[in-house]
Structure 1
């Protein structure tokens, strides 16, 4: 089972919006050095919705190659068309990813039965461990706990990224699911609390900027050390909020550029972080100890 701090990795881009493969290699080395436990490539934070299928597959392949087995690689392969998700998942398997992360279909708003059939079809088509991803705030599609429980019976569906931020709902899901089915937080502000309730890790945006702190907090929470985990998490609490002052990944890409990890490149329809938010994000980075005055 994959556990711990799993960075929802940005896809570094040049100022013109081209994927920056050199910076991608550098980012991977940065995260391994800082103690990140796993890398999630081409998820929401990786701008999956604006990469071409070829770019999508190439980024996954590059991450797998560069990581070279040092940490697990989870590939974002979700789509709102089932056939497209199957194709991306096959490409990720061929590239050597350890698992795939599949977001609920966005925009077309399927029923709960539609969600079940969608994920079941992908799992049956591609034999690779698959993690569901529920983020209703972005997709306008909310996969209910009962649907997750149904899908937990599908052989290679092994977990879910719960980005609802609803701890009561997350706890109920953890208690109802089989022990070998992993629940990961997809909500940085509540991630430590969810891990202490039985979650297996955090698929984190904040880890792009403060990877060591996020990893240490996750380790403490997984060990059941609540006070230590919350103490570490308190040092990065401002990042958890300011990195969402505009739509993710706008603030986190700007923050990473301030650390010299990438250029400010981002693809339309997303635009660079608005200047009025610069000071707030910069101050949060200073409070977190990742940027000097």
Structure 2
């Protein structure tokens, strides 16, 4: 595989798709998932990420996670890059990665280890074991500020590491890292904290950003990407002001609202999002009102969002 060219595919929006759950049983609504994926593809998403945190990866059983990857890959049908989230213990992550390979996914995203006891050296061993065990390339989800960026510098030497989803909002730290990793390693740096932080990361060397907003308002995310690529700073910051209240709502309660804000917004405009699974609670009344006012300000209503 030409890993250098592969890494260029991340110079775009990485769309973290939602997984709808039925009210009451909280079973996966597979028809709703199909609607969501078609919505993303119809709206021009070039990278789709099943089993991301916004897709409630940690609320899925392993068999469900495998099934979600398989279903999303089937639905995308080669029209976008499919990057399947994997995680947990090394052997479990490899098992999920091999299932993703078999399903036809293009790449895996290795979640940040959730083990309570971790060192930078241990993180290198963890990520490296998974990357080397798979045939398809990997990107690393890096969000623990207590881990050294030396982890990524060491992993960058691996051909099959094609990107990093960097989710630590420390811009000087990120800038230094990007400048210290040689370009010949072909690592695509992706802002992992969505539209709120995308302009800052982009100017520091990121080539794209992740998004949950695309599940409800893809036009606005694409406008930001285009403005960033064109160096149109006036438009970038205009869009940033428009999306900031939404991202701030998601960030409430130490990011506890991350998923439920999107699901609530989708349901309000007649997209299928369903309920969340524990430990994500339903949205409280205060935040529901704030979200409704924002959607109204955006002009997003059920008759204006084309499924």
Question: TM-score interval w.r.t. the shorter chain?
Answer: over 0.9
1:17 aligns with 2:26: yes
Matches within 5 A, 1:214-229: 214-229=221-236
User: Is residue 232 of structure 1 aligned with residue 236 of structure 2?
Assistant: no
CA offsets, 1:187-237, max 9 Å, x none? 121112212322111111222222111122112213333332222232212
Q: Give, in angstroms, the shift of residue 263 of structure 1.
A: 4.4
Which residue of the other structure, out of 162, 174, 184, is the alignment partner of 2:178?
174
The aligned residue for residue 102 of structure 2 is: 94
C-alpha distance 291-192 of structure 1, shift in aligned 2 (>3 A): farther
Distance of 1:172 and 1:264 partners within structure 2: 41
State whether residues 77 and 100 of structure 1, in contact with CA within 8 Å, keep that contact through their aligned partners in structure 2: yes
Q: What CA deviation, in whole Å up to 9, does each residue of 1:233-269 have, x standing for no partner?
A: 3221211111233512122211222122224321122
Label 1:107 to 1:120 Cα distance change in 2 as closer, same or farther (>3 A): closer
Query: Counterpart of 1:244 in 2: which secondary structure?
Result: helix
CA contact (8 A) 1:242 1:251 kept: yes
Asked if residue 153 in structure 1 is aligned to residue 157 in structure 2, the reply is yes
Cα distance between partner residues in 2 of 1:20 and 1:173: 41
1:103-124: CA deviation from partner (whole Å, max 9, x where unpaired)? 1211423100000000110111
| CA shift digits 1:126-176 (9 cap, x unpaired) | 12111111223xxxx743211111110012011111111222222112212
User: Which structure carries more helix by proportion?
Assistant: 2
Structure 2 gaps, min length 5: 1-7
Matched residues, number: 288
Q: 2:66 aligns with which of 57, 61, 67?
A: 57
Question: What is the 5 A alignment of 1:132-211?
Answer: 132-136=140-144, 142-179=146-183, 180-188=186-194, 189-211=196-218
| Contact 2:164 2:189 survives alignment (8 Å) | yes
Kept after mapping to 1: 8 A contact 2:35/2:272: no
Determine helix, strand or coil for the equivalent of 2:14: strand
Alpha-carbon offset, residue 31 of structure 1: 1.2
Instruction: Specify the SS of the correspondent of 1:280.
Output: helix
What is the TM-score with the length of structure 1 in the denominator?
A: 0.92
Decide whether the 8 Å contact of 2:46 with 2:79 is kept in 1: no
Cα distance in 2, alignment partners of residues 278 and 256 from structure 1: 12
Rounded to whole Å, the distance in 2 between the matches of 1:284 and 1:173 is 36
The residue number in structure 2 matching 1:260 is: 270
Contact (CA 8 Å) 1:192, 1:218: kept in 2 or not? no
Asked whether the equivalents of residues 12 and 265 of structure 1 are also in contact (C-alpha less than 8 Å), the reply is: yes
When normalised by structure 2's length, the TM-score is 0.88
- Structure 1's consecutive aligned runs of 4 or more residues displaced over 6 angstroms after TM superposition are none
Contact 1:239 1:285 in 2 (8 A): no
SS class of match (2:108): strand
**What's 2:290 paired with?**
280
Distance 1:287 1:193 in 2: 25
Cα 1:233–1:36 shift into 2, 3 Å: farther
Counterpart selection for 1:41 from 47, 50, 72: 50
Residues 186-195 or 43-52, more deviating:
186-195
